[in-house]
Amino acid sequence: MVSCKAVVILLEVYAAAMLTSQIEAFLTIFVHGELQRLQLTAPARMGV
């Protein structure tokens, strides 16, 4: 049978992996939105 410590370690690794994937997805959306905003405002600042 699997020891209690092994189960706790596996759950911690799983939770850390899920958290990093969620943060990565959020950052991807945030950075993409920022790039779009910069692309829309750049021509206005350049006088085009």
Q: Is 42's pLDDT higher than 70?
A: no
Q: 24 is written with which tokens?
A: 């990565």
In this prediction, residue 43 has a pLDDT band, given cuts at 50, 70 and 90, of low
Burial string for 10-29 (b: 16+ CB within 10 Å, else e) reads: eeeeeeeeeeeeeeeeeeee
Query: What are 19-38's pLDDT values in tens digits?
Result: 998 888 888 877 888 888 87
User: How high is the mean pLDDT of the chain?
Assistant: 84
Rounded to 5°, the CA angle 34-25-8 comes to 145
